[in-house]
A and B are shown apart, each in its own frame.
Chain A
Amino acid sequence: MAAQPLVRVHRLCMHFTGEASLFQGPPSVVKAVDGVTLEIQEGETLGLVGESGCGKSTLGRAILQLYRPTSGSVHYRDVNLVELEGKALREMRRRFQMIYQDPYASLNPRMKIADIVGEPMQIHKLCPPSEIRKRVEQTLEMVGLTPAFADRYPHEFSGGQRQRIGIARALAAEPDFIVADEPISALDVSIQAQIINLMRELQQQLKLTYLFIAHDLAVVRHISDRMAVMYLGKVVELTDSSSIYEEPLHPYTQSLLSAVPIPDPEKEREREANRTLLQGEVPSPEDPPSGCGFCTRCPRKQDVRDAKQIDCDVSPPALTEVKPGHWTACHLYS
């Protein structure tokens, strides 16, 4: 892809500072996102995976400036969003929208569907007020709902239908870039496939670019062109969706993949024999290890010490391109 990336994230940090307290000493700092650099090409889907607390949702929100990043930059084409304020930022916001995880919490129960979907059109003055209704109905049809639903309230719909309404609201602003934060994890298995298919159709039809955040690796792999794996606020591996399964490089990616159950009993029996069960849990982002974030659970730490004379507890590895298009942050490949 020679085209210029649509979104360029450079050394983005999002640190949350706790409240200072008289008795507990200096306030603690949670480094939710800690120096992330990545690019999203126009028209592609970048999948972002990781376990809870790894900072994937925070990264999505910091890119959209829903949180103002502590440091680093986010370029949308040539504009650095981090420097924008007030009206200029609001105008840019039309171009990037978000789809939320919980379709029960993200729709205002007191608003009719027509108002939920029509509001962005009104705020951004995308069409004369008299045409809003017509455009709402068109948008509903685009997401597979009948226009007659416009006069109903959110509680009348099932989870899958609500998620379609959430997608319609995001589309109402005519965005180029959509951050979808776990858009299907609250839905039943048989409904998930409907929403995934819808999102792919809309992408082709409207030339959308997605950042698709989820913890379900199989789903992300299905929908994404490239994938980024996060651990403790950092991207540890970034490559195209086939390589990530076929040749995962980072020990964390490897153990994450081996922990995902595959719906095939024969394969599961084979995999069980050489599964690397990860021990322990993710360290607290308030007090991350000083070296590599994964060093407390890494099964290959000793190998690094033997082969490279590098101590993972002390020196953090940088995200480097070890093969064309395949980036990883691990001393094994330095």
Chain B
Amino acid sequence: MGELLLEVQDLHVHFPTPEGRVKAVNGISYSLARQEILALVGESGSGKSVGVLSLLRLIPSRDCEVRGKVLFEGQDLLRLSEAEMRGVRGDRISMVFQDPMTSLNPVLRIGDQIQESIMEHQGVTERVARGRTLELLELVGIPEPSKRYRHYPHQFSGGMRQRIMIAMGLACEPTVLIADEPTTALDVTIQAQIIDLVKKLRKEIGMSVIWITHDLGIVAGLADRVAVMYAGKIVEFAPVMQLFQSPRHPYTKGLLNSLPRLDSRTEEPLEAIEGLPPNLIDYPSSCPFMARCAARANVCLSPPEMRRIAEEHQVCCHLAEGG
């Protein structure tokens, strides 16, 4: 593992609402090394998006309470002033959002949108920024950049727009790229192109990536390490091989078993995980997965702590065995 770049310590994000506090993220800790691709996997409502949005302070502070530490290059991002934070966001840490249809400004030419962040962060002239923008469009595989540069978002297909979003995310050569389900809205053949692109860029410009997804297939082919999230907690954290070959948390096992696989076909019914994730307002005092867990025991009534069961393999379950 390379040099440590980003460290999240005991992050909590709660939203006070008229119905009660929504406990979206409940004490997650992880680290990201240089050039590493870390995958955050989880279902809707598991807190994976809120967890990274709050790192970049993209959720207005009047709407939520954030506790914990986010150490990046020796600074705690949660304690920076808004002006200092603007210097980090889009420059050293940038983000690619899920939906390319709504994240681009429909009334601005795409060239101007990419150029804006380069001029803002690097203080270069428009001429220089334009040259850089054309290079970026070429890098992400937009044909005829000098012509497409002048087009508006509606003139591009979904896959093209997602490439433009990635170009924008890369505009200032960030050290960390956070990608929130960047391929979920795309077709598989386009998804394969985007994944290929991100892997190539990781090598070429040496960036680290946090990739949020619900698709374990993508994780298998892309990530170095994986954090599995459930009800606002990381329930298992391991290098990708270990996670798939010897999953320890019952939820991870359940997820892997419930997937139909392209490479093997059985007549057996899939092993579904029965029940639903817990209500985040009325958060259980037990292990949050207990109600759906096939292996539950009395000890599960008290919430488990994250435990290291092998070098680099951590599990949040009372019953998980080491080795």
Contacts and interface: CB of A to CB of B under 8 A. Distances in A.
Interface of A: 51-52, 158, 160, 188-194, 196-197, 200-201, 215, 217-219, 221-223, 241-242, 245, 255-269, 271-272, 275, 277-279, 281
B26 interface: no
Contact of A218 (B158, B219, B262, B276): B262
A203 to B, nearest CB: 12
Interface in B246-264: 254-256, 258-263
A194 B274 contact: yes
Given A218-B259, A255-B189, A265-B240, A260 B265 contact: no
Given A261-B218, A265-B220, A197 B189 contact: no
Contacts of A265: 220-221, 240-241, 244
B188 A263 contact: no
Contacts of B256: 263
A153 B240 CA distance: 43
Interface of B: 43-44, 157-160, 187-193, 195-196, 214-221, 240-241, 244-245, 254-256, 258-263, 265-266, 269-274, 276
Contacts of A267: 220, 263
7 contacts: A190-B255, A193-B270, A218-B259, A245-B265, A256-B188, A264-B263, A281-B159
B195 to A, nearest CB: 8
Nearest to A201: B269
A261 B221 contact: yes
A281 B157 contact: yes
A243 B256 CA distance: 24
B220 A245 contact: no
A126 B196 CA distance: 55
Nearest to B219: A263
B219 A215 contact: no
B262 A51 contact: no
A260 B216 CA distance: 11
Contacts of A275: 192
A256 B189 contact: yes
A189 B43 contact: yes
A255 B192 CA distance: 10
A147 B240 CA distance: 44
Given A272-B221, A277-B193, 14 more contacts: A189-B43, A189-B214, A189-B259, A193-B272, A196-B270, A218-B217, A256-B189, A259-B192, A261-B217, A262-B217, A262-B221, A262-B262, A264-B261, A265-B220
A40 B68 CA distance: 58
A196 B271 CA distance: 10
Contacts of A278: 189, 192-193
Contacts of A160: 276
Residue of A256, A268, A271 with highest tally of chain B CB at under 10 A: A268
A contacts with B: majority SS = helix
Given A190-B273, A241-B265, A263 B244 contact: yes
Nearest to A223: B260
Given A263-B220, A266-B241, A200 B262 contact: no
A268 B261 CA distance: 13
Contacts of A193: 258-260, 270-273
A120 B223 CA distance: 48
A222 B261 CA distance: 7
A191 B188 CA distance: 21
A51 B216 contact: no
A190 B219 CA distance: 16
A188 B250 CA distance: 17
B73 to A, nearest CB: 30
Nearest to B157: A281
A191 to B, nearest CB: 8
Given A160-B276, A260-B262, A197 B269 contact: yes
B307 to A, nearest CB: 23
A213 to B, nearest CB: 15
Given A193-B271, A265-B241, A188 B44 contact: yes
Contacts of B187: 51-52, 215
Contacts of A191: 272, 276
A278 B269 CA distance: 33
Contact of B220 (A188, A192, A256, A264): A264
Contacts of B271: 193
B262 A221 contact: yes
A190 B293 CA distance: 12
A158 B279 CA distance: 11
A263 B261 contact: yes
B95 to A, nearest CB: 23
B239 to A, nearest CB: 9
